[in-house]
A and B are shown apart, each in its own frame.
Chain A
């Protein structure tokens, strides 16, 4: 069974640009969550999608948005990039509830210059 796939693995963007990251969950998993990982703040929850609906969100500015498609693949978009957005962005998939556990992808390393 294929794992959680995140593309691209690395990205370099300039301040003010926007970026879109992609996450393909494990087949059959309907929930996709996104996390930001930085050395200073650690792992922080961005938002979660289930059946194309955002069910939960963390405390991030509106520049961070996401969506989920009917095949459960999810995208995350960051607009007007700031230097502080440089981070490893991880997505995780699950069948739908915490009790199922979460499987993480390898992440997308975003560098903003």
Chain B
């Protein structure tokens, strides 16, 4: 079945430490992949997206993600976390061809990031 999985429900890091959030997908071809961030009670803000080409994608707020086809992964990274990065992070994919993909993102369950001072 086509799916996006975030193995970590909750991650805690210290401010200034590096961060890696994991995302795996199950799909027969290369999907369009996205990372979003959500603050409590708010909508989703797009951090970065991957469609094709360079497998290392740069996003906003100092985030980057690397697409690895062999591992079906699209992990999000940040070299130094700030307290304001505390939020919930969602990996999402457009998994489908033609009409089945229109407007539909398949989301992982999300990873809650806590940042300790």
Contact = CB atoms under 8 A, between A and B. Distances in A.
A94 interface: yes
A105 B43 CA distance: 6
Contacts, number: 72
Nearest to B90: A43
Contacts of A47: 103
What size tier do the contact residues of chain A reach? 20 to 34
Contacts of B103: 31-33, 45, 47-50, 55-56, 92, 94, 102
Contacts of B94: 98
A99 interface: yes
Interface string B69-111: 0000000000000000000001010100001111111111110
Interface residues of A: mostly helix, strand, loop or mixed?
Answer: strand
A87 B82 CA distance: 30
B105 A102 contact: yes
A42 B105 CA distance: 12
Interface residues of B, number: 26
B7 to A, nearest CB: 14
Interface in B25-45: 32, 34, 36, 41-45
Contacts of A90: 43-44
Given A101-B46, A104-B45, A56 B100 contact: yes
A106 B41 CA distance: 8
B102 A42 contact: no
A109 B99 CA distance: 29
Interface of B: 32, 34, 36, 41-46, 49, 51, 90, 92, 94, 99-110
30 contacts: A4-B43, A31-B103, A32-B103, A33-B104, A35-B105, A42-B107, A42-B109, A43-B92, A45-B103, A45-B106, A47-B103, A48-B104, A49-B103, A55-B102, A55-B103, A56-B100, A56-B101, A56-B104, A58-B104, A88-B41, A90-B43, A92-B105, A98-B101, A101-B34, A104-B44, A104-B45, A106-B43, A107-B42, A107-B43, A109-B41
